[in-house]
């Protein structure tokens, strides 16, 4: 098997662990793995109560995202499975991926954040929907301006008085997470945290 990023042949070490736990077997080589730079930001906030970001947005990470999202290399969804599991292996919270716009989902053919969670074996609930033109079209101009939120709760979803953890690939300004958290809290969520794979400087 070759590294999914640089194509270099992976040294096959049939370790004990890999026999029993296929998910921890490596998809990328040591060099590529080392090229990603941890940032490990953990900060408190008001609308989003706690935010964790794992990596910096350096050049190798930019290339990874490009290959994963835009070249639609879905095999890359599992590259950071261990790191995501490390932050999201919690039984006291409901994991909610940040959705992409329905049109983008059609263009890109897969929901990359969901794919990362699936690859990591992390259970999640798809509770949010991006507001699309169809939903917006039913509202008056005043209502649209008043809304100005990118997200709505999916019809039929039951938001509980508990902790939710939003997951997104990249944190830039934090607007996306704040809007998603506000929607969940308005619907009854007690606490909303967030985990992003990447923190971009803005
Ligand atoms: Zn490599």
What are 85-109's pLDDT values in tens digits? Answer: 999 988 899 999 999 877 666 666 7
pLDDT digits (tens, 9 = 90+) for 8-46: 998 766 655 555 554 445 899 999 999 999 999 999 999
* Distance from Cα 27 to the centre of ligand 1, integer Å: 9
Show Cβ contacts of residue 10 under 8 Å, excluding neighbours closer than 6 positions.
Answer: 1, 2, 3, 26, 29
Q: Specify the pTM.
A: 0.86
Strand 128-130 relative to strand 93-97: parallel, antiparallel, unpaired? Answer: unpaired
Q: How far apart are the first and last CA of the chain?
A: 38
Distance 105 CA to ligand 1 centre (A): 28
The alpha carbon of 179 and the centre of ligand 1 are apart by a number of angstroms equal to: 36
What share of the chain in percent tops pLDDT 90? 68
Determine the distance from the C-alpha atom of residue 112 to the mean position of all C-alpha atoms in its chain, rounded to a whole number: 8
Q: How far is the CA of 31 from the centre of ligand 1 (A)?
A: 6
Cα–Cα nearest to 113, from 157, 37, 104? 104
pLDDT at 24: 46
What pLDDT does residue 133 have?
Answer: 53
Cα 73 to averaged position of ligand 1 atoms, centre (Å): 15
Q: What is the pLDDT of residues 63-78, one digit of tens each?
A: 999 999 988 899 999 9
DSSP structure class, residue 69: I
Q: How far is the CA of 13 from the centre of ligand 1 (A)?
A: 16
* Burial grade of 101 (CB within 10 A; 0-12, 13-18, 19 or more): middle
pLDDT in tens, 126-174: 999 988 655 556 667 666 655 567 899 999 999 999 999 999 999 999 9
Ligand 1 center to 154 CA (angstroms):
39
Both tokens assigned to 113: 């954040």
């Amino acid at each position: 098997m070759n590294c999914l990023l640089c194509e270099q042949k992976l040294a096959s070490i049939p370790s004990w662990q890999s026999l029993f736990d296929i998910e921890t077997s490596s998809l990328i080589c040591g060099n590529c793995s080392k090229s990603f730079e941890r940032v490990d930001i953990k900060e408190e906030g008001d609308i989003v109560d706690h935010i964790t970001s794992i990596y910096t947005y350096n050049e190798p990470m930019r290339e990874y995202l490009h290959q994963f999202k835009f070249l639609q290399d879905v095999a890359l969804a599992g590259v950071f499975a261990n790191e995501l599991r490390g932050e999201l292996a919690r039984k006291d919270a409901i994991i909610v991926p940040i959705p992409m716009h329905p049109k983008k989902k059609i263009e890109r053919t897969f929901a990359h954040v969901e794919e990362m969670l699936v690859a990591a074996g992390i259970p999640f609930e798809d509770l949010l929907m991006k507001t699309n033109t169809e939903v917006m079209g039913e509202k008056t101009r005043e209502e649209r301006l008043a809304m100005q939120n990118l997200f709505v709760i999916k019809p039929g979803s039951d938001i509980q008085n508990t902790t939710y953890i939003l997951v997104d690939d990249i944190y830039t300004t934090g607007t996306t997470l704040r809007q998603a958290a506000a929607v969940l809290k308005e619907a009854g969520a007690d606490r909303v945290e967030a985990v992003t794979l990447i923190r971009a400087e803005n």
